[in-house]
């Protein structure tokens, strides 16, 4: 049983909605509403969901870019919100880094590659220029780029190469956890494989933990050990990747999988049984009562619109659905 | 053998070459004019044929060389005290340009610093700085200039002070807007994740990325600063005589517009040239650095 | 078998820039039947969007020019039409849906007005009839409460709904050909599934031919009858969807299919294609894919392979096709 590196307990992030001159709070956008998960050392947790599900907000909370409304983040068993400013600077931030979705905006367009990758080192360590320079070259080599690239600017590279630079930068401080928010969705199809393979190799080499956020299930399956499916601010299903994809429990998971599998047209033009959901994800400002998914669920029962489903553990998976109650 | 597509390509490139020269006139002309004036300012002692305060009572109100009654001795004529207009205009460049450029430097620096801090920090700091900026922007500048000149007495530093005390607010506004936009970029969030301190972010990430806007702002304010300085000199609260400033020269010729138009006209043209050059240059830079065009 | 409604032969579209001639589309040929969806699949920069724009003759001028080929829609060569004639074709005979629903719709006009614009332009109907036609277009795209939607603005709608409205505008005049350029890329998976199902319905009802431009093989599999794979300005393989997935012949097609992670199986390691697509200004001699091809031989680098039909409807351009 691997060690738990990071644990999120009942994370909640609500954004106030204000109206009028006096800015009264008239409601709350419940972007993240009671999310719990664990990330083990050396393993990848995939966080899947459609836009509005709250996955990016969760990632930002872990990166301390957003302040949680309630809930705790435990890093190696210690409460992150109780860390002092200097503890955060020395013990948390250097060990939790990120690679963002958009390789075109995640780097300062006015900095050269060598400065971009060196920055974490310059800011956090007292290494000499020479040491930093050699580390930069080392990192570039790790991600498959060469020493000739150091003096160029980001816009001189392709999307895939820029993501590699972003990965090199993320690794500069030898982090334990890297948060990857849609790391390949902005890249061309044939480049995605390159980057995903690179990430997996680095994970094996350095025993890195990843939190991968994606809406593409196939990407998540390829990269993750465990998966959490998010819908409207909550995790509706959670388990080991293999089991979850082979035997999905929650109706939403099944619909997502159905929408993502490569189904070939059959010879006699018969439609393959696809699960097509009706409607769209409701607004997190006014989540439906009871089970949040009931308004689109093909298996909805009377209970679903009244009672919030409990967490049900089925072997190594858990699911929040009345079908299993 | 040249294929048809090669020929077409050459034709296309040929047309755009002319187009490019025309487009770049927007930069060449203003830079040329401004450079000429700056050279006048620096090398006034060498270029001006006469000292600026050398009066010559028998030679008062001599017209420019090409008008009847004029001579090439005083190419642009003389003023009411017989002083050579050309020389005074050349020395005037020195005063007007140095005062303006210094005032621009001060206002741009103060405004930029405040704008970046305001835009990046947000919250109460932002609100506070913006309220002060609003006050500075709404205060009547000329009135304040007069008050300052009256209380401090005329002089070089009085003028600089009067021009700078309110001028920073425009920069603060613009730079703040830009800083705000950049602040929401992904790479700023990334810098925070890396652990970069806010001051370092402002200095190393925000500042270099607002430079385009700053350059445009500075270039475009050359015109208004020159006008402001000229206005002060015209009103008599600028650089005191006998040191000529274009504004004071225009004032000097005010009463002789009918019989000795050249006394006011040439300094006035000089002011106009600087204003236009600054504006054209600023527009050209703005077009060139438009991020949408850059991506093409 | 229904008739061929669109025949593209040897289409060449070049962009004349300061840095040289960009051969965005360099000899592309394909055909589409009535009521059929033809997919053009490829990565960014391969020329698929430019192909779509060329058919509509909507290239950015003066840089973009169609320098050769024929585009025959229902017997008429579009490249021979005058600009005015072509303008009449757009919207009425051919229509296009773009990727971003946010920018495809004008934010200051109501939905009703935007659909009506197309109807008025091409159908010359009286005002009373316009509203009817607008509502029928909305119904075709299964937009709920069409009468209410008429008065709404784009910002009041979700992405999926906006994309349907764009579809309604495009289909309002019942064109013979619809070109859809990555319309589902910005949509969530479940919304995309809805939308693609809708496409099929619309096609069944109106018998419109669709050219579906995408980079997503999942989309190709679910909606396209036939597919053309594009690389660096040329179509390298054409086949029915089933045939393409079961029996790909071009190394690029195979590599591309293998580099996409599958949800229904656990991949141990994805195949990743080395290198980058070539610059369209400076194309390599011979087969354009040869620098990155694992099967490439010397002759591949020297001569461009011709397009060969290897079985019914399945064409491929590759020296190593066997």
Q: Per residue in B81-117, pLDDT tens?
A: 888 888 889 998 888 888 989 999 999 999 999 999 9
Sign of the CA dihedral running A214, A219, A223, A226: positive
Supply the DSSP symbol for C282: S
3-state secondary structure of C72: strand
Backbone angles phi, psi at A135, to 5 degrees: -65, -40
Confidence of residue A58 (pLDDT cuts 50, 70, 90): very high
Confidence of residue A269 (pLDDT cuts 50, 70, 90): very low
In percent, the amount of chain B with pLDDT more than 90 equals: 26
Lowest mean pLDDT among A109-113, B33-37, C260-264, C278-282: C260-264
pLDDT in tens, B1-11: 344 455 455 55
Mean pLDDT score of chain C? 87
Q: Do C263 and A194 touch (CB under 8 A)?
A: no
Confidence of residue B135 (pLDDT cuts 50, 70, 90): very high
pLDDT average, residue stretch B247-253: 89
B265/B258 Cα distance (integer angstroms): 11
Nearest CA in chain C to A262: C218
Residue C35 Ramachandran class (φ > 0 left, ψ -120 to 50 alpha, else beta): left
Shortest distance, CA B112 to any CA of chain A (angstroms): 18
Q: What is the ipTM metric for this complex?
A: 0.81
Nearest CA in chain C to B11: C16
A251/A291 Cα distance (integer angstroms): 12
B34/B41 Cα distance (integer angstroms): 10
For C43, the closest of A188, A219, A277 (CB atoms) is A188
- pLDDT score for C319: 86
CATH label of the domain that carries residue C239? 3.40.50.300
Confidence of residue A301 (pLDDT cuts 50, 70, 90): confident
User: A215 preceded by cis ω (within 30°)?
Assistant: no
pLDDT in tens, C23-50: 999 999 999 999 999 999 998 888 999 9
- The yes-or-no verdict on residue B164 having pLDDT over 50 is yes
DSSP assignment string, A66-110? S--SEEEEEETTEEGGG--HHHIIIIIGGGEEEE-S-TTTSS-TT
For A260, the closest of C218, C225, C255 (CB atoms) is C218
pLDDT average, residue stretch B114-133: 94
Q: By a Cβ cutoff of 8 Å, what residues of chain B touch chain A?
A: 185-187, 189-197, 200, 205, 208-209
Q: Which residues of C touch A263 (CB under 8 A)?
A: 221-222
For C193, the closest of A51, A259, A281 (CB atoms) is A259
For C22, the enclosing helix (H) or strand (E) is: strand C20-33
- pLDDT score for C180: 93
pLDDT in tens, A130-152: 999 999 999 999 998 888 888 99
Range of the domain at C273: 4-93+175-316
For A50, the closest of C161, C190, C241 (CB atoms) is C190
- The yes-or-no verdict on residue C126 having pLDDT over 80 is no
Residues 60-79 of A with CB under 8 A from B: 63-65
Q: Which residues of C touch A188 (CB under 8 A)?
A: 43-44, 215
C213/C65 Cα distance (integer angstroms): 20
Does residue A93 belong to the interface with chain B, where contact is any CB pair within 8 Å? yes
Confidence of residue A273 (pLDDT cuts 50, 70, 90): low
Shortest distance, CA C209 to any CA of chain B (angstroms): 33
Q: What would the two tokens of residue C34 be?
A: 């009535």
Q: Which site among A123, A155, A156 would you substitute to test the B interface, given the most B Cβ atoms closer than 10 Å to its Cβ?
A: A123
pLDDT average, residue stretch A49-64: 90
Contacts of B212-215 spanning 24+ positions with Cβ under 8 A:
B212/B285, B212/B289, B213/B174, B213/B175, B213/B178, B214/B108, B214/B112, B214/B171, B214/B175, B215/B285, B215/B289
C124/C116 Cα distance (integer angstroms): 11
- The yes-or-no verdict on residue A283 having pLDDT over 90 is no
Q: Which site among C99, C143, C189, C240 would you substitute to test the A interface, given the most A Cβ atoms closer than 10 Å to its Cβ?
A: C189
- pLDDT score for B1: 39
A275/B255 Cα distance (integer angstroms): 90
Structural domains in chain C (count): 1
- pLDDT score for B295: 37
In percent, the amount of chain A with pLDDT more than 70 equals: 96
Q: Do A97 and B189 touch (CB under 8 A)?
A: no
Mean pLDDT score of chain A? 88
Residues 118-147 of C with CB under 8 A from A: none
Question: Which domains, ranges and CATH numbers included, belong to chain B?
Answer: 23-295 (1.10.3720.10)
- pLDDT score for B5: 52
- pLDDT score for B290: 66
Contacts of B42-50 spanning 24+ positions with Cβ under 8 A:
B42/B94, B44/B90, B44/B91, B44/B93, B44/B94, B47/B90, B48/B84, B48/B86, B48/B87, B48/B88, B48/B90, B48/B91, B49/B75, B49/B84, B49/B86, B49/B87, B50/B74, B50/B83, B50/B84, B50/B86, B50/B87
- pLDDT score for A265: 55
- pLDDT score for A32: 92
Q: What would the two tokens of residue A68 be?
A: 């949680």
What is the rounded end-to-end Cα distance, in angstroms, of chain A? Answer: 29
- pLDDT score for A237: 94
Mean pLDDT score of chain B? 85
- pLDDT score for A48: 92
DSSP E strand stretches across C98-255 = 177-181, 209-214, 226-231, 234-240
B280/C28 Cα distance (integer angstroms): 47
B110/C179 Cα distance (integer angstroms): 55
Angle between helices C127-140 and C111-123 (to 10 degrees): 110
Q: Which residues of C touch B6 (CB under 8 A)?
A: 21
Q: What would the two tokens of residue B15 be?
A: 């047309």
- pLDDT score for A263: 64
- pLDDT score for C131: 86
Name residue, tokens 């097509």. A276
User: C179 preceded by cis ω (within 30°)?
Assistant: no
Q: What is the 3-state secondary structure (H, E, C) of B122-138?
A: CHHHHHHHHHHHHHHHH
3-state secondary structure of C214: strand
DSSP E strand stretches across chain A = 4-19, 24-40, 44-48, 70-75, 78-79, 96-99, 177-181, 209-214, 226-231, 234-240, 311-314, 317-320
Supply the DSSP symbol for C155: G
- pLDDT score for A264: 61
- pLDDT score for A270: 43
- pLDDT score for B75: 86
- pLDDT score for A215: 84
pLDDT in tens, A241-253: 988 988 899 999 9
Q: Is residue C179 a contact partner of residue C170, using CB atoms and an 8 Å limit?
A: no
In percent, the amount of chain B with pLDDT more than 70 equals: 91
Q: Is C117 inside a domain boundary? A: no
Give the closest residue to A140 by CA, choosing from A170, A161, A116, A165.
A165
Q: Which site among B6, B9, B21 would you substitute to test the C interface, given the most C Cβ atoms closer than 10 Å to its Cβ?
A: B9
Q: Is residue A160 a contact partner of residue A194, using CB atoms and an 8 Å limit?
A: yes
Lowest mean pLDDT among A172-176, A278-282, B35-39, B246-250: A278-282
- pLDDT score for A262: 67
B40/B34 Cα distance (integer angstroms): 10
Question: Which domains, ranges and CATH numbers included, belong to chain A?
Answer: 4-16+34-224 (3.40.50.300), 248-264+272-325 (no CATH)
Q: Do B193 and A93 touch (CB under 8 A)?
A: yes
Select the more confidently predicted residue: B22 or C227: C227
Sign of the CA dihedral running A308, A311, A312, A318: positive
In percent, the amount of chain C with pLDDT more than 90 equals: 30
pLDDT in tens, C214-233: 988 888 988 999 999 999 99
- pLDDT score for B131: 95
Name residue, tokens 């800083």. B179
For C71, the enclosing helix (H) or strand (E) is: strand C64-73
Contacts of A91-94 spanning 24+ positions with Cβ under 8 A:
A92/A64, A93/A64, A93/A124, A93/B193, A93/B194, A93/B195, A94/A120, A94/A124, A94/A173, A94/A174, A94/A175, A94/B195
């Amino acid at each position: 049983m691997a060690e738990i590196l990071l644990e999120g307990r009942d994370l909640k992030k609500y954004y106030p909605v204000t109206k009028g001159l006096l800015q009264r709070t008239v409601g709350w956008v419940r972007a993240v509403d009671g999310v719990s998960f664990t990330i083990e050392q050396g393993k990848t947790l995939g966080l899947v969901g459609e836009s509005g599900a709250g996955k990016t907000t969760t990632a930002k909370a872990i990166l301390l870019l957003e302040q949680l409304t309630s809930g705790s983040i435990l890093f190696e068993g210690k409460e992150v919100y109780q860390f002092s400013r200097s503890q955060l600077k020395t013990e948390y931030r250097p060990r939790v880094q990120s690679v963002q979705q958009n390789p075109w905006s995640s780097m300062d367009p006015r900095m050269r590659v060598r400065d971009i990758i060196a920055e974490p080192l310059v800011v956090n360590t007292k290494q000499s220029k020479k040491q930093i320079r050699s580390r930069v070259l080392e990192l570039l080599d790790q991600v498959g780029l060469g020493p000739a690239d150091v003096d160029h600017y980001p816009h001189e590279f392709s999307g895939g190469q820029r993501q590699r630079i972003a990965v090199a930068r993320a690794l500069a401080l030898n982090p334990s956890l890297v948060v990857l928010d849609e790391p390949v969705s902005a890249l061309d199809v044939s480049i995605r494989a390159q980057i995903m393979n690179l990430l997996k190799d680095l994970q094996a080499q350095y025993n890195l933990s990843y939190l991968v956020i994606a809406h593409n299930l196939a990407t998540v399956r390829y990269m993750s050990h465990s998966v959490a499916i998010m819908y409207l601010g909550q995790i509706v299903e959670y388990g080991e990747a293999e089991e979850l994809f082979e035997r999905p429990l929650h109706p939403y998971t099944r619909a997502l999988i159905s929408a993502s599998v490569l189904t070939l047209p059959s010879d006699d033009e018969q439609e393959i049984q696809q699960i097509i959901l009706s409607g769209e994800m409701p607004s997190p400002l006014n989540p439906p009562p009871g089970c949040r998914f009931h308004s689109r669920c093909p298996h909805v029962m009377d209970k679903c619109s009244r009672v919030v489903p409990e967490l049900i553990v089925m072997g190594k998976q858990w699911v929040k659905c009345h079908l299993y109650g | 053998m040249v294929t048809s597509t090669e020929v077409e390509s050459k034709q296309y490139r040929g047309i755009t070459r002319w187009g490019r020269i025309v487009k770049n006139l927007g930069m060449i002309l203003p830079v040329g004019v401004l450079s000429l004036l700056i050279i006048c300012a620096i090398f006034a002692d060498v270029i001006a044929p006469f000292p600026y305060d050398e009066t010559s009572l028998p030679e008062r109100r001599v017209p420019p060389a090409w008008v009847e009654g004029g001579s090439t001795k005083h190419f642009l004529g003389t003023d009411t005290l017989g002083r050579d207009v050309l020389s005074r205009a050349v020395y005037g460049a020195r005063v007007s340009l140095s005062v303006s450029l210094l005032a621009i430097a001060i206002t741009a620096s103060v405004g930029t610093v405040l704008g970046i801090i305001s835009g990046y920090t947000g919250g109460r700091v932002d609100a506070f700085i913006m309220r002060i900026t609003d006050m500075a922007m709404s205060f009547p500048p000329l009135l304040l200039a007069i008050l300052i000149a009256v209380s401090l007495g005329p002089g070089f530093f009085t003028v600089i002070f009067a021009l700078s005390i309110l001028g920073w607010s425009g920069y603060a506004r613009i730079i703040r807007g830009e800083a705000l936009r950049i602040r929401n970029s992904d790479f700023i969030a990334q810098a925070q994740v890396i652990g970069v301190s806010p001051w370092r972010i402002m200095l190393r990430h925000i500042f270099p990325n607002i430079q385009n806007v700053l350059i445009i702002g500075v270039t475009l304010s050359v015109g208004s600063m020159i006008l402001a300085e000229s206005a002060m000199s015209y009103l008599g609260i600028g650089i005191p005589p006998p040191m000529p400033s274009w504004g004071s020269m225009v004032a000097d010729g005010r009463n002789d517009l009918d019989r000795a138009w050249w006394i006011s006209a040439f300094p006035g043209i000089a002011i106009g040239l600087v204003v236009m050059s600054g504006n054209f240059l600023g527009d050209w830079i703005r077009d060139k650095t438009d991020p949408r065009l850059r991506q093409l | 078998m229904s008739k061929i409604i669109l025949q593209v032969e040897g289409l060449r579209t070049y962009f004349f820039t300061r840095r040289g001639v960009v051969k965005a589309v360099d000899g592309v040929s394909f055909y589409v039947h009535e009521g059929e969806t033809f997919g053009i699949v490829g990565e960014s920069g391969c020329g698929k969007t430019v192909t779509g724009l060329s058919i509509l003759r909507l290239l950015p001028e003066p840089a973009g020019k169609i320098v050769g080929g024929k585009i025959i829609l229902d017997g008429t060569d579009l490249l021979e039409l005058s600009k005015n004639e072509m303008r009449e074709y757009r919207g009425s005979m051919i229509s296009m849906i773009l990727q971003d629903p946010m920018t495809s719709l004008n934010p200051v006009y109501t939905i009703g007005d935007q659909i009506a614009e197309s109807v008025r332009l091409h159908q010359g109907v009286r005002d009373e009839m316009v509203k009817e036609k607008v509502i029928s277009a909305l119904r075709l795209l299964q937009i709920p409460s069409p009468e209410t939607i008429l008065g709404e603005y784009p910002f009041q709608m979700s992405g999926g709904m906006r994309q349907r409205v764009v579809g309604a505008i495009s289909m309002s005049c019942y064109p013979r050909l619809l070109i859809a350029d990555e319309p589902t890329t910005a949509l969530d998976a479940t919304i995309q599934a809805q939308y693609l199902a809708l496409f099929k319905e619309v096609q069944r009802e109106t018998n419109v031919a669709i050219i579906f431009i995408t980079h997503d093989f999942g989309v190709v599999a679910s909606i396209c009858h036939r597919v053309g794979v594009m690389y660096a300005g040329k179509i390298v393989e054409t086949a029915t969807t089933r045939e393409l997935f079961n029996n790909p012949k071009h190394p690029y097609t195979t590599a591309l299919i293998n580099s996409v992670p599958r949800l229904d199986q656990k991949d141990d390691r994805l195949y990743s294609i080395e290198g980058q697509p070539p610059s369209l200004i400076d194309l390599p001699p011979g087969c354009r894919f040869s620098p990155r091809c694992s099967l490439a031989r010397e002759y591949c680098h020297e001569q461009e392979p011709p397009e060969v039909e290897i079985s019914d409807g399945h064409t491929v351009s590759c020296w190593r096709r066997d």
